[in-house]
């Protein structure tokens, strides 16, 4: 009985009628709306991106229907799709997944596999939505940018080594600059904490070393979540 899922509503371009085309298009739009909703669930997405996700399945569907069984036209269309990537800003991993899901949906509906496309999209969208409730622990979660202001008479080369060994797994001095007419140094470190629970103790110990001058610790800007 499940084999009917893998049966297309038409088997060749000669059987493509207005009613079949309309049915495929409506399914593409409905699945596109579902993908757009799952992509925007608990995440900030622009209206234009969500609209594009909604329309991509229907657009891909009509293109594939038009180039059906035409190898040359198919190659030209793939070239046109590849150009879109180079005229787009880099997107997050979730955005790329949503785009590929929308394209795959359009390919399935263009071939008449409406039930299969619906089942595929529902499963993937459920996983996408559930992933928002699961917290994945990453090593990057303990990466921090540490900025310490010290007086000019304090030798910073190894002054904080014991504290870094105690509270961090790794540390690297990224930048040094003078401030306040050269009477102060501002040190910028990239550190990986051993535990988030020790941040306050870490800062308190640093304050005892730098004369209670300014100290800041922040999560570094994310640079590797785009594709």
What per-residue confidence (pLDDT) applies to 13? Answer: 55
The pLDDT confidence band at residue 67, using thresholds 50, 70 and 90, is: confident
Q: Which residues of 113-144 are buried (b: 16+ CB within 10 A; e: fewer)?
A: bbbbbbebbeebbeebeeeeeeeeeeeeebbb
Domains of the chain: 2-131 (no CATH), 141-218 (3.30.70.240)
Structure tokens at 34: 């579902």
CA distance 58 to 27: 8
Rounded to a whole number of angstroms, the distance between the first and last alpha carbons of the chain is 40
Asked if 142 contacts 192 with a C-beta cutoff of 8 angstroms, the reply is yes
Average pLDDT across the chain, whole number = 82
Mean pLDDT, to the nearest integer, of 208-218?
A: 91
Mean pLDDT, to the nearest integer, of 45-66?
A: 86
CA distance 129 to 119: 15
pLDDT tens for each residue of 108-141: 888 888 888 999 999 999 998 888 887 765 556 7
What per-residue confidence (pLDDT) applies to 123? Answer: 94
Entry pTM: 0.63
181 has a pLDDT exceeding 80: yes
CA distance 97 to 93: 6
What per-residue confidence (pLDDT) applies to 73? Answer: 62
* Nearest by Cα to 159 from 142, 176, 144, 145: 176
**For the chain, percent of residues with pLDDT exceeding 70:** 79
Which H, E and C letters describe 209-222, residue by residue?
HCCCCCEEEECCCC
Mean pLDDT, to the nearest integer, of 202-218?
A: 91
């Amino acid at each position: 009985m499940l084999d009917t899922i893998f049966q297309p509503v038409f088997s060749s371009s000669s059987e493509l009628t207005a009613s079949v085309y309309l049915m495929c298009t409506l399914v593409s739009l409905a699945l596109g709306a579902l993908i757009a909703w799952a992509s925007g669930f608990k995440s900030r997405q622009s209206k234009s991106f969500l609209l594009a996700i909604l329309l991509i399945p229907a657009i891909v569907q009509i293109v594939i229907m038009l180039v059906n069984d035409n190898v040359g036209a198919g190659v030209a269309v793939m070239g046109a799709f590849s150009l879109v990537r180079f005229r787009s800003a880099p997107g997050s991993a979730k955005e790329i997944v949503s785009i590929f899901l929308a394209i795959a949906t359009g390919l399935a509906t263009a071939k008449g596999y409406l039930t299969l496309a619906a089942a595929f999209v529902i499963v993937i969208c459920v996983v996408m939505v559930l992933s928002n409730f699961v917290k994945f622990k990453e090593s990057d979660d303990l990466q921090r940018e540490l900025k310490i202001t010290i007086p000019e008479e304090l030798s910073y080369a190894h002054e904080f080594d014991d504290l870094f060994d105690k509270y961090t797994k790794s540390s690297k001095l990224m930048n040094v600059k003078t401030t306040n007419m050269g009477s102060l140094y501002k040190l910028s470190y990239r550190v990986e904490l051993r535990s988030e629970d020790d941040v306050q103790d870490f800062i308190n110990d640093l304050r005892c070393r730098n004369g209670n001058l300014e100290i800041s610790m922040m999560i570094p800007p994310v640079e590797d979540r785009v594709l």
